[in-house]
Structures are given as C-alpha cells and as structure tokens.
Structure 1
Amino acid sequence: MAQTELNDAIKVAISANLGWGFELYDLIAYIYAAPYIATQFFPKTDYVASLLETLLLLVLGYFARPLGAILWGHIGDKMGRKITWFVVLLGMGLVTVAIGFLPTYAQIGVAAAALLVLFRILQGIFLGGEWAGGLTITAEFAPPNMRGLLGGVAQGGAGLASVFAAAAVALATVFAPTKDAMMAYGWRILFWFGAVPLAIALFVRWKIRESEIWLKKGKPAVERIPFLALLRRYWLFVIIATLVIFGESLIYYGSIGYFGTLLPLLGYGREGVILASLSAGLTWMLLGPLFGHLSDRLGKRKSILATYYAIAALTLYPIWILIAGGQLANLVIGAALMGMVFSSQYSVLPAWLAETIETKVRFSGIGFILNLGVAFSSFAPYISTYLLKSIGQTYGTVTAISLVTIIGALIALVFVLLSRDRCCQELL
C-alpha cells in the first residue's frame, strides 16, 4: 500500500474515533445529567422514580436509532460514505448542544418533557448513521492486515468519550460548584461542552475522500433498497451479530457508560466520577488498537472475540467488588480494568462485521446490527437502577449490577461462536 493511502486510512480511523467519541459523549452526558434532568423535567416526590423515567427516555432515543440506521444506511450505500457521514455528525451535534438550551418543567410545564422526548428521538435518528458510517469507512480504507488495528483506533473513540465526559464534569464543577448550581444551570454545561468535540470531528471529517472500495464495488452495483437486499442475503448473520452487539452493549451500558449515575448511588462524589471516567477512557484509548492489532497478527476475529468475552464473564464481578469498596484508589484501578476488558472486545468488532458483509449493503448492515443491538441493551441503566433500589446494600448492589454485565458477556460469547470468520480476506 502506498504511503498516501496508508495516511488516508489513518486519517479516516482518527475521524471515526472523534465522531464515535462525540456520539458516545452524548450518551454519557445524558446519563451524567440524568440526576438533574430527572427533577427538572419529570418532577416527582420520589427521586428514584424521576430518575427511572429519565432513563426510560434514554431507551426511547435509542430505539429511534435502528430507524435512523435504515435511513442513513440506504443513503450511504446508494450515494456514498463521505457526505452521509458528515451530515449525520452535524445533525447529531446540533441536537445535542440544543438540549442544553431546553426550558424546564417549571418554565413551560409538560411541554418541556415533550421537547426532550422529541430531541432524544432526533438524536437517535442521526446517531443511527454515525457509528455505522465510521466503522464502515474505516474498514474500507484499511489494508487487510491492519483492519483490526485501525478498527481499534476508531473504537477508541468510546474511551475518548469518557475523557470528554470527565472534562465536561470538571468544567461544570468549576462553574457550578454546588448542588443547587448544578440543578439550576450546571447540567446544561454538559451538553454545551459537546460543541468542542463536534467542531474538532467536523474539521477532520471534511478533509477525507470517498471510499475507493465503495466507488469500485458498491456504486456500480447499487441495490434499489439496500436494507431489503441485506435481509435477503444476510438474515442469519444479522440475527447472530445483533445478539452479539446486544450482549456487548449490556456490558457497556451497565458499567462504564453508567458511571455518572451509578457511582453517586454507590457513595462517590463528582471527583470519583471524573477519576473513574478518565481511568476507563484513557485505558480504552491506549489498549484498543493493541487488542485490534492482535487479531490481525493471529489472523482470527471470531475466536479472539470469544476469548475476550469469556475473560469478561469471569472478571466483571471481582472488578465490581473493587469499585464498590468506597476507596478512590480502588475505583481508579477498577475503572481501568473495566476499560481494559471492554476495549478488548470493541476493538475487533469493526473488522469482524465489515469482512462478513459485502460492500453494496455494508453501511446498511453494520448500521442496523449495531443500532438494534444497542437499542435493546439501553435498558441496562434502567434495570440496574431498579435493582439498586430493590436490593440495596453494597454487595447486593454489586451482585445486581454485575449480573447485568455478566449476562451480556455470556450472550455475546455464545453467539459470536456461531458466526463465520473471514479475517484479513479481501472485502466482498
């Protein structure tokens, strides 16, 4: 591969990293702001009841994502990767920042909750194309023997999201140092801060070129309705891969993505949330490419994913015990271990998906699989919060939370073993 092509592949992976980081930042910002949104938009005498309604709204936004995936996948497979990928990032970013300007229940009554619902649905529709577009175009630019490595770079954006979130919480802490200040305006800072990663991601993304593989294999053979063609040819893989992503995402949304709501319920303050997010995020960013590269070197995706899921199932409970101990040092170590466990799995997924689905329906396929699996797993914060309220006590709490994540790891393990492995072969 020429140096110019390799440079382009790296640039695309970095752009995917930034876009995915911003997308996931939106989720983390919402969960971090959930304790304040709960009382501002869904006021009730019982705080946990308000919080549960807020987390259910998170689910609603995520069930808009498969619809967005079908829409943007259709456009991406028929009109090209670059323009689709740019538009979804811009739309997603504008809606995220706009949430920070919404009036509250005290100002306009029930209309405030209705607007929040509308904005979450719009976010879900745009989000349906962002992550899928990034993984699709990264795999299409990457050399066959570097798909795992560059996929790990792209997926490292999830770790970057935790770093962005830590920075946003720190900024909110400076400008809204008290609980009353956070309730009044501080939570809005978490959404306004999204303008920073958005601007960086848009700048990088504008400079990339169109996918050569799509120009050669997708554009000349474009399907009338790519999504229907996907279901005809890949229905079994769609089912298997969606269940893998469901299990995978149960781990994330029941752990790292849930830190902002979970850690205060375990007795940690904002300092603990910031440190845990930084620890998990930086570990993820640094180790993700390494785990992806390992799958390139071994020439295996399926078996290495299965190994990673087995390790997760065995280690998640002890890690939760460490985190629940109440000591900041243990929290930082536990969060880093969580980041390590999760980055190992996420890093291999882009290549595993892209190598199985052919070019002319790849955007639609990756988008639908990812977003449908994630939609069902978005119940994890709600379920964990409900279990926290129902069970109580530190170790009962840990058992409840770890149960959600361990079940996720086992589901992913079982179904990834049913898949094919086309590691490092030419893209179809």
Structure 2
Amino acid sequence: MIEKNITFKSYKNEDFTNALKISVSANLGWGFELFDLVVYLYVTTTIAPLFFPSSSYIASVLLFLGTLVLGYFARPIGAVFLGHFGDKIGRKSIWLVSLLGMGIATVSMGFLPTYAQVGVLATVLLIALRMSQGFFLAGEWGGGQTIVNENSPQGLRGFFSGIQQGGAALGLIFAVIANEIALYIAPGAAFSTIGWRIMFWFGAIPLAIAILTRYKIRERIVFNAEKTVKFPIVDVFKKYYKFVIVGTLLLLGNGIIYYGEIAYMPTYLGLYTKLSAASIDLAVLVTNLVWLFSSPIAGYLSDRVRSRRAWISSIFIIMIILAYPVILLLHSGYLPFVLFSGIILGLIISFQYAVIPAFLSENSDSSVRYSFIAFSINLGVALSSFGPFLGTYLSTVMKNSVLGIVILVIASSLAGFIAMMFSPRDNIDAELN
C-alpha cells in the first residue's frame, strides 16, 4: 500500500531542520569512520609486505586482511560497552567519544614503524590499533543510527536514515581524495614509504569537520534516564534475542556486498585487472557518488511504500540474480564495464543499506535501543569482515577471481533473505518510545 499523505511540508520546520542537522552530522561522522577502514583496504597491496613480510605476496595480503577481521571482532565488544553507556547516560556524549577514539587510532596508524624497523612489534601495534578502531566504531555507527531515528519526524525515518547511511559512501570518497593527494605528493616508490602514511594522516581533516558539526547538534529527548535498565545488553537478549539473530544475518548479507565488493574494489581491481591507479579511483568514486545521492531517495521511497521488510528482502533477491554479471563486468578490466558495474553496485547497496536503521529502530525501545542496534549490526558486520579474506582465498583456490566473489555474495545474500522471513512486522507508524 502506498501512503499518499507523507510530504515534507507535513512537519514543523524546527523538527525537520533539527533532524536534518543530526542526520548530516551522522553522515559526516560515519563517513570519517568508514574512511578509516577503507583506507586500510585501499593500502593493502602496498603495505601488506611492510607488516607481514613473506616469500609469497598473496600470503602477505591474506595475513594483512586477517587483521581486518580481528579489528571487526572488537566491534561487538565495543557495542556492548559503548551501547551500555549510551543507554544509561544518553546518546550524544558516547557518540562523540566514539568518534574521537576512532580518529586517534586512525591518525596513529600513519606513524607506525614497519616490520623492517622494529620486527614483530610493528605487527602487534598494527593489530592493536585495528582493534581500537573496531571498538570505537561500534559506538559511532550504533549511536548514529539510534540518535538519527529518535530525532526524525514520524513518517520520514527512512529518509533521514538514508542521509546518515550515505556516510559510508562518503568514506570511500574521502579515501579516493586522500589517495590522489598521497599519489601526487609521493608518487611511484615513495608511496610505499610515505604515501600510505599521508592517507591515514588525511583522516584528521574529516575528523575535525565531523566533531565540529556533531558538537553543535541538539538532541531531542526520547532517551529517558528514568527508563534505564541495569544491564541493557542483558535485556536485549531477553526481549530481542530472535531479532538479534535476524539483525546479525541481515547485516552479514548486506556487509558482504559492501566489504566483499565495494570497499574491496581498490584491492580487487589492483590484484586482478591492469587498470591504472587513476582508473581504479574513478571506479570507486563513481560507485560511491551513486550510493551517496541515491541513499536518501531509497530511504524516502521505503517511507512511501510502507514495508521495509519487503523492501530489504527484495534487494537480496536482486543481488542474487545480478551477482555473476556484475562481478564479471567488474573483473573485465575494461573501464566502461567497470564503471557500469560500479553504478549497479552503488544502487543495490544504497537501496538496502539506507533502510536498515529505521527498520531496527522501529522494532526496539529506547531503554535498550543503542545496545540492541550497536550489537546486532556490529556482530553482523564482524562476520562480513571475512569478505575480503574469503574472496581472495576462494579466488586463489578456485583459480577464478569471478566465481570466488560470486559464491560468497550469493551465499550471504541468501542467508540475509531467509533471516528476513523471520523478522518482526513493520512498525513504520509507531512512535519511538
């Protein structure tokens, strides 16, 4: 059923403006957080041998991608800890702490010594900073989804969620800019000594912008200190354990599309095609510009269609159908085909990813919402972080870089689709409490 009465004019200017400020702030913060992680993937082929020297280049890459997984499994831990305080003392302060913690860890990566300089200590420090990134990112993403939806006018939660979720695309755009700047300052062999460090240091710029915008926002009071529970995560498992499973599998399926294809794109194209660095940057830029601008549209359309559950499920089916041709075009190494594939991927990820925060928020209450959202999404994404590793491994074992990624994407999308069949009903018309 299409709801015909939802219009932007239906809402008070003050409420709409405040929701817009918060969602844009969340977009910038989430963009910075994802920038941190994407830069890590962006420089994989350059710095893997610097921290994991091996006689085999692919072995170095696989070990390096393994640290990505370790960092992601710090996220559920961070979700429990930061979600606890987000539900106990309020959203905004924990949201700021998460952003700052992530920023410090990222910029610090640019100062790390290499294996050749300090031996295994370099590897240990890299892993420690990756785990710090994962820990603090859990509070950023979960907090952003919570505060945006709690401050969005009823009937437009999908739209404002779409703005916030578009930050993931912005993170990749930041990474492209950082890469171009680093290549300009340190071209050729210099990139392996100083260029990759510049990319991490560049993160200080979007971090400063995100902190300034976030500090000024006004949080509408949905969170109520009198409604807090002693241990929010315990109540999450008591009241929402089925939905935690659904949310985890939903983010697993969606995350494999992202980490196994879009965020992994610079590494994938660098390993399996002969595209230049500039062409790879263009492909990443086009993919994520499509995602960035289509994300709010997708969220708004889900507000109109009135069934987020059916919407999310449909995108999984579309991904299963298109997985092989899209990856085949991406693998072709022919730039027009790669760009077309990127556009399709940008649309698919945005049309599903944009809707997830509203769907999760509308099926949880304020006393545990931060903890529930943060834990579910971060556990799902932690599992999906195996995407780049498994994609590379399967491609190597099967000696077919297309089928390795395709099998991974189809299996995870199918898992997400099945999970959605057991998800709660839509609560689009519900007031968040």
Q: TM-score, normalised by structure 2?
A: 0.95
- Gaps (5+ residues) in structure 2? 1-10
Query: For the Cα contact (< 8 Å) 2:395–2:403, is it kept in 1?
Result: no
Q: 2:192 aligns with which of 169, 183, 202?
A: 183
Distance 1:262 1:211 in 2: 43
> Does residue 161 of structure 2 align to residue 144 of structure 1?
no
Q: CA RMSD in A?
A: 1.1
Paired positions, count: 421
In structure 1, what is the equivalent of residue 431 of structure 2? 426
Relative to its length, the structure with more helix (as a share) is 1
> Does residue 265 of structure 2 align to residue 259 of structure 1?
yes
Deviation at 1:186, TM superposition (A): 1.0
Distance 1:332 1:19 in 2: 27
In structure 2, what is the equivalent of residue 107 of structure 1? 117
Q: 1:49 aligns with which of 48, 59, 66?
A: 59
Give 1:108-187 correspondences, 5 Å limit: 108-178=118-188, 180-187=189-196
Query: For the Cα contact (< 8 Å) 1:162–1:280, is it kept in 2?
Result: no
Query: For the Cα contact (< 8 Å) 1:74–1:226, is it kept in 2?
Result: yes
1:202-258 CA distance string (max 9 Å, x none): 1100001233111xxx32111011111111111111111111111111111110010
Distance 1:284 1:321 in 2: 20
Query: For the Cα contact (< 8 Å) 1:296–1:424, is it kept in 2?
Result: no
> Does residue 407 of structure 2 align to residue 403 of structure 1?
yes
Query: For the Cα contact (< 8 Å) 2:248–2:376, is it kept in 1?
Result: yes
> Does residue 222 of structure 2 align to residue 222 of structure 1?
no
Q: TM-score, normalised by structure 1?
A: 0.96
Distance 1:81 1:258 in 2: 31
Deviation at 1:263, TM superposition (A): 0.6
Distance 1:111 1:88 in 2: 26
In structure 1, what is the equivalent of residue 210 of structure 2? 201
In structure 2, what is the equivalent of residue 23 of structure 1? 33
Query: For the Cα contact (< 8 Å) 1:63–1:375, is it kept in 2?
Result: yes
SS in 2 for 1:224: coil
Q: Which stretches of structure 1, 4 residues or more, deviate above 6 A after TM superposition? A: none
Deviation at 1:390, TM superposition (A): 2.0
Give 1:243-254 correspondences, 5 Å limit: 243-254=249-260
Distance 1:310 1:388 in 2: 23
SS in 1 for 2:322: helix
Distance 1:376 1:187 in 2: 27
- Give the letter aligned to residue 195 of structure 1: A
- Give the letter aligned to residue 342 of structure 1: I
> Does residue 386 of structure 2 align to residue 373 of structure 1?
no
In structure 1, what is the equivalent of residue 307 of structure 2? 300
Q: 1:239 aligns with which of 245, 254, 275?
A: 245
> Does residue 109 of structure 2 align to residue 91 of structure 1?
no
Distance 1:386 1:241 in 2: 27
SS in 1 for 2:373: helix
In structure 2, what is the equivalent of residue 213 of structure 1? 222
1:293-322 CA distance string (max 9 Å, x none): 111011111011111111111112111111
Distance 1:407 1:280 in 2: 23
Deviation at 1:425, TM superposition (A): 1.6
Give 1:290-329 correspondences, 5 Å limit: 290-329=297-336
Query: For the Cα contact (< 8 Å) 1:128–1:367, is it kept in 2?
Result: yes
In structure 1, what is the equivalent of residue 389 of structure 2? 382
- Give the letter aligned to residue 36 of structure 1: T
Distance 2:240 2:98 in 1: 25
Deviation at 1:115, TM superposition (A): 0.7
Distance 2:278 2:330 in 1: 14
